[in-house]
Every structure is written in structure tokens, then in C-alpha cells.
Amino acid sequence: MTYPKIPLAQTVIQLCKAKGIKHIVISPGSRNAPLTIGFTHDSFFKCYSIVDERCAAFFALGIAQQIQEPTAVVCTSGSALLNYYPAVAEAFYSDIPLVVLSADRPKHLVGIGDGQTINQKKVFDNHILYSANLKLDLKDEKNISREEELPIFKNLEDKFERLLGLQKDIQTHNEEGLNNAINLACLKKGPVHINIPFDEPLYEIVDTLSVSPRVVDAKIKPQEIEDYVLKSCLEDWNAASKKMILVGVNGPNTIEQKWLDELAKDDSVIVFTETTSNLHHPSFFPSIDKLIAPLTEDERQQLQPDILLTFGGLVVSKKIKQFLRKYKPRHHWHIDSKTANDTFFCLDNHIQKSPNAFFETFLPRVTHYVKSDYKPIWTSVKKHRTKRHKAYVEQIPFSDFKVFSSALKSIPEDYILQSGNSSAIRYTQLFKINKNIDVFCNRGTSGIDGSTSTAIGCAVANSKPTVFITGDLSFLYDSNALWNKHIPKNFRIIIVNNQGGGIFRILPGHKNTDNFDTYFETNHDLTAEHLCKMYGFKYESASDEDSLKSSLASFYLEDNQPKLLEVFTPKEVNDEVLLNYFEFIK
């Protein structure tokens, strides 16, 4: 087999392999050549070449999102590394195990004006679980010239390591950093950064390994709820007549159905689910904004819970955030083995356990169901809202609202739905999604950047086909995502093109001025047609109900290339249709 000659590169590659990091996303470069050589010559690894580092990182994030195991991104030195930052931040707030492997210049070449060199050490410090700064291998004494020796020795720390620290000590340091970083990515589910200095020559290869790094297994510490905490929660729960459960981003099939059924039996419990929660039950309350937005002040007070129990990732609905910040529960418990956000400014209990494990411990000890009309009242409201929703969709003109209604209903149930951010996910929240469709969205930072790349990574990693629904600005912003030869033929994209940032039309501010059109809505007349031709997508467009219906009828049929459907909507009516919706469904 072919290996890089540099022991440090061999160490990195062997430990990634030992810890099961199979997917390696590589952006071309020279300084990372030792890693590229090692990963691409070992059949254990599935390697992908993505030129644009920002796209590469989100592509890797999409893979890790699906397999829930560490996925690595590999880049050269310099500004290449900084392009990873948006995806690193998303992984940090979405609990996705992303392993960043950045090649670097040797320490004596940093800060002297050498090309393609920045300060890479701890560059992600505010949004990373762990940063490992590895050390350069020592060269054989006989191979060092006097000219090379002088810059190496100019740094006292380097000289100290050279004189007193042997290669064995450096190897131990590097193994420890690698083991710690990868283990944390596995256990804590988040991004880690491993910075790896390489000196030239970079392209030398050997056919045998010169190092055998020590593998330290990740140790999982069982998390138990202390008896007094469990007892206190049970006492409060059994006494409360109004209990609200709110579920944010949540992976499919992470909660056993029997616990969902148990919660559904209790009339004192209402369960609010977001589209990204991937939880379904006829008694639960999806489309939160549909229920909350039209409420009167008296109705809001009636809805105010005694106990709020939350789990899952970040919540999309602004309306539920505003509601719970004003009508605070007496108790807010968040269930998560890692972190708890005080989103509603009333958090009083962080239960450090997985939600399923908590319900397994907690629900069998609930002694009785409290007599309550909490859920029956709001179930009646939900039925009314659903009826009015249907009537509204039937009477409105062609618009963003109408497009999302049709597009979401058209998705085959064996598909995964990846949603873009901004308007795309907020419209999606208003509609019922087939329970067999898994839904994902980058809600860690809620940015429009990288959504397309993430969706493609998802499509590569999952055996189910993927459809990505997005707005025009988000798609154009990440159009380099299509510069990717790994895209499956069954991948589908639907762009809702309202010629700008349509979401700004429903926010406060003056509309229809040159200033608004240019600096907020960002008007444009661009389309995806030529991008599709360049990148090998089959392109279709629609601009009214008939053409949309016709396109969707065949959109998911098998083809010899991925497909993109661009739907053009009238920006002049979209905001009015959406704002009138909440008044109509009262």
C-alpha cells in the first residue's frame, strides 16, 4: 500500500481509520498533500473532492448529519481554513460531529510573511469542542542543512523541543491530541479542529508505515437522574393541570412510539412539534404558528402552561418564543445530555439525559393523569384552524404560499426533505408533512449559506432520495454546491424564486422604495437555468398553478440526471397572502 512518508500524516490517517471516520472530504491543495495521499490510497476511506472549502464543509456536515458519526474535512493552509467557519458554527450549534483537519506551515514559517500562511492555532475557539495543535516531526539530523537549521532554531520553544524533547515525546503529544479530539467529536456530537503542521518535502511516499499510534477508546459515562431531582419533577408534574411539551430539531426515530402514545393519553399535556422535530401523532400540535398567531390576549393567558418541557435543538417559531417569554411557565425543564438553552428566560432544570431515556425513567412513575381540559380545548382550536387553512389555500392566488402547499404535498413518502432557511422553513412550518418523510434544516445558526451543499451531502450519505426546497437567494448564494461530481441522479431541488429576499416584505419597514429593493429585498432577475446546463441538472420551470402541477407530476420519476424545478412567484402579492392568512384562520 502507498503511504505518505511523513510520520505525522501516517498518525492522523491511522487514528481516523481506527476510530471509524470513513467519509473524508478533501479540498485540493499542496500543504495537505501528505493527508490526501494517505486517505485516497486506502480503500477503507470514502473520499470526495470538493474545490470550494465552504461548500466542502457543509457537504461533510450533511453526511455527518445523516450518519451521526464523525466526518472529516481536509484543507490546505491559509485562508482555505477560514472558509470552513460557517459550517463549523452550524455543527457547533446543531450537535453534528465534524472533524476539521487543517494542514499548516511549520511554526518557524508562521508570522514571517510566508505565502498562504495565517495564524491557524485555535482559529475556531468560540465555536469548537476541542482544538488540537499538533507538532512537527523532527527531521533526521543528517538530513538538516545549516540553512534549514537556523530558522528552525530561531524560536526558543522549537529549540527546547529539539534539544530536550525526542520524536517519541512529540509523537505522544500528537497521539494524545488526536485521540482527545476525535473522541470528543464522537461523545459530545460537535466539531473539533486538528491543526497539522507539515514541512517540505510533502509528496514523498513509502510502502510501509513507520509509526503505530496508540488508540484511546472513547469512554461513555452513564448519566443518571438524581433521585431528589426525579422526585421533585414527578411531584410538580402530577400536580400541574397545564403541561406543554415543545420539541425543536430532533432526529427521526429517536423517541420510542410507546412514550409518544403515553403522552398523548394525558389531557393535561399538549405537545407542540416543529417540522424539524420528526415527531408525529394525531393528538400532537404541529404548525405552531397556525395555532398561536391568531390568539387573543385572553386565549394566550389560557394557553400559558404551568410546566414547559423542551427537548431537541433550536426552535424555528418566533411566535412561540414571544409567547413563552411573555407568558412564562412556573417551571421550564430542558432534556438534553449536553446543553440547555434558557431560550424563554425561565429555565430552572437541565435534565442531562437523552429524551428517550428520560421518558423511559419518568413516565412509568407518573402515578395518575390530572383531570384537565387543557388539551381538549386546544384540540378544538386546532381542528378549526385546520379547516380554515384548507379553505384559505383554495381561494388564494398563485403565490409562495400556494407553491409550498403543492410542493410539500407532492413529495413521495420515501424521500428526505431538506429545507432551506429563512422563508423556506417558515412556510414549511405551516403545512402538515407526511409522517414518513424525514425533515432536516440547518437551524444551528439559521443561515442561508450552505443549505444546498448540506442537502447534497445528505443525498450522498442516505439510501433514501433527497429533495431540497429553497429560496432563490439561498440557492444562488451557495451555487458552487453544484460543482460536485458526487450528486446522485435522484437528487431533486425546488427553488421558489420571488426575485429577492421575500421574507423582508413581511417584516417591519418601508416597502417598494429604491432603498428597500436594493439593500433589503435585493431584487434580481437571475435564474438557475444556465447553472443547470453547466452542472448537468435537468432544468424545468413553472410560473402558474397549471405549469407547477404539470412539472410536479413527473418531477420525482427516475432520470439519468438530477433535476431542478424553478418556480417563479409574483413578489407583489406574496407578503399580502401570508399576512392575511393569520387573520383568515381565526
* Residues sharing a CB contact under 8 Å with residue 109, sequence separation 6 or more, in sequence order: 117, 151
Residue 556 identity: Y
Alpha-carbon span 432 to 435, nearest angstrom = 9
Q: Would you state the pLDDT for residue 168? A: 75
Domain range 3-200, CATH architecture: 3-Layer(aba) Sandwich (3.40)
* pTM listed for this prediction: 0.93
Give the position of cell 435585493. Answer: 522
Give the cell for residue 104.
Answer: 499548516
**Three-state SS at 312:** coil
Q: Which residue(s) pair with 471 in the sheet?
A: 496
**Three-state SS at 469:** strand
Find out whether 63 and 112 touch, Cβ atoms under 8 Å: no
Cα–Cα separations (whole angstroms), residue 568 to 57, 398, 543: 30, 10, 5
Low-confidence ranges of the chain (pLDDT < 50): 140-150, 153, 164
Closest CA to 460 of 12, 141, 55, 15: 55
Alpha-carbon span 267 to 277, nearest angstrom = 21
Q: Would you state the pLDDT for residue 572? A: 85
Q: Would you state the pLDDT for residue 524? A: 87
* 3-state helix, strand and coil shares in percent for the chain, rounded to the nearest 5: 45, 15, 40
Contacts 24+ apart (CB under 8 A), 137-142: 137/6, 137/7, 137/8, 137/167, 137/170, 137/199, 138/162, 138/166, 138/167, 138/170, 139/199
DSSP 550-575: HHHHHHTS--SS-EEEEEE--HHHHH
Q: Would you state the pLDDT for residue 503? A: 62
Domain 396-584: homologous superfamily in CATH: Thiamin diphosphate (ThDP)-binding fold, Pyr/PP domains (3.40.50.970)
CA 417 to chain centre: 13
Compute how many other C-beta atoms are within 10 angstroms of the C-beta atom of residue 116. Answer: 13
Alpha-carbon span 496 to 156, nearest angstrom = 59
Alpha-carbon span 278 to 582, nearest angstrom = 24
Average pLDDT, the chain: 92
Q: Would you state the pLDDT for residue 502? A: 60
Closest CA to 201 of 239, 260, 148, 254: 148
CA 340 to chain centre: 18
Q: Would you state the pLDDT for residue 141? A: 40
Alpha-carbon span 219 to 46, nearest angstrom = 26
Helix axes 374-395, 571-584, angle to 10 degrees: 150
Find out whether 440 and 417 touch, Cβ atoms under 8 Å: yes
Alpha-carbon span 410 to 424, nearest angstrom = 16
Alpha-carbon span 126 to 113, nearest angstrom = 26
DSSP 243-254: EEEEE-S--TT-
Q: Would you state the pLDDT for residue 108? A: 85
Quote the Cα angle for 204-6-11, to 5°.
140
Residue 290 identity: K
Quote the Cα angle for 202-457-41, to 5°.
30
CATH no., domain 227-379: 3.40.50.1220
Compute how many other C-beta atoms are within 10 angstroms of the C-beta atom of residue 442. Answer: 32
Q: Would you state the pLDDT for residue 519? A: 65
Residues of the chain with CATH 3.40.50.970: 3-200, 396-584
Alpha-carbon span 409 to 83, nearest angstrom = 36
Q: Would you state the pLDDT for residue 142? A: 39
Closest CA to 303 of 362, 390, 382, 386: 382
* Residues sharing a CB contact under 8 Å with residue 290, sequence separation 6 or more, in sequence order: 385, 386, 389, 430, 585
Closest CA to 486 of 447, 516, 456: 456
